[in-house]
Amino acid sequence: MKVAVVGVTGMVGSVMLNVLKEFNFPVSKLIPVASIKSAGSSISFNGKNYTVVTLEDAIDMDIDLALFSAGGSVSEEWAPKFAQKGIYVVDNSSFWRMDSNKKLIVPEINGSSLKKEDFIIANPNCSTIQLVLVLFALHKRFKVKRVIVSTYQSISGTGVKAVKQMNNERQGIKSEMAYAYPIDQNCIPQCDDFLENDYTKEEMKLTNETKKIVDHEINVSATAVRVPVTGGHSESVNIEFLNDFEINEIKDLLNKQEGVIVVDDTSSLSYPMPLFSQGKNEVFVGRIRRDETQENSLNLWIVADNLRKGAATNAVQIAQLLLEKNFINKN
């Protein structure tokens, strides 16, 4: 199978290569794709070296599958061109997510909805993926009514420029700024640009994408915060259900949810942290406790590697579904 990774030199693109290898995805030939600036450089994958090419070159290379992680403007222009050639596109940008004609897929939740004609498939926002995996497990039993979520998001979600900013700040080096303020020793209550309603794009992604993936009736109110952590997003979540629950049943449902690991033992100080989520493909949940101020309400804490399940892993899992459904012939 010929697989293109678009944006291969970026943070998510490089993790996609790792995940493809770890999952033993049947790549017979890799087509690494990046900007003109990176074209001609070499990428190593599965013991072979491949030359980075541009999108203009790649589109005529008889590709079976393209994993896009190169930004919304690139996806807007090039995903339809690839799809018109019969190439399946899994897009990690935000451009296609809320398109009514495109599926927004978390395989453990709605992977069964994929059809052979879905040539452009949207990968949800990193913060959304870890939230909806937990909500989905509980919504089926107790019906989620309202969610209040505060995120603590890694600088790796912004990209290499943000990582460089924090590392330089820690060394006392003045350099190009990814954020409007210093990030080291700081928390910035802004992820992405502000909208007319004074919420950021990131906050509204959590609201709108949750509705599309899980249930349009679920109300989500979000505050997204950038924190000086190099890998892993965390979320403090308050969930109001229509129906009452028992904590043991909550934990049992989460333990049974594919892709979720419960880490919840306060007696041994066991709870999820971004430090221990790095490099892992699962979503971790802990600090599970009843909200004693509100009926049918629950507090919990969710952590995941935003470059893994929040991006690259979920994209490769979607690609695996395309194989399992025989939409792509791997022979």
- Tokens 């049992």 correspond to what residue? 252
Cβ-in-10-Å burial (0-12, 13-18, 19+) of 259 comes to buried
Half-sphere exposure of 140 (CA within 13 A, CB side): 12
Beta bridge partners of 241: 144
**270 secondary structure, DSSP code:** B
Catalytic residue among 126, 139, 187, 216: 126
Catalytic residue among 139, 187, 191, 233: 233
Q: Which alpha helices (H) appear in 85-239, and where do they start and end?
A: 107-110, 126-142, 160-170, 201-213
Cβ-in-10-Å burial (0-12, 13-18, 19+) of 150 comes to middle
Strands in the chain per DSSP E: 2-6, 29-33, 42-45, 48-51, 65-68, 88-91, 103-104, 120-122, 144-153, 219-226, 233-241, 260-262, 283-290, 297-304
Closest CA to 87 of 57, 113, 108, 66: 66
Q: Please say whether the beta carbons of 235 and 301 come within 8 A.
A: yes
Q: Which alpha helices (H) appear in 227-272, and where do they start and end?
A: 247-256
What does the block give as tokens for 97?
């997510």
Is 216 one of the catalytic residues? no
Is 126 one of the catalytic residues? yes
d(CA 241, CA 251) in angstroms, rounded, equals 15
Catalytic residues: 126, 233
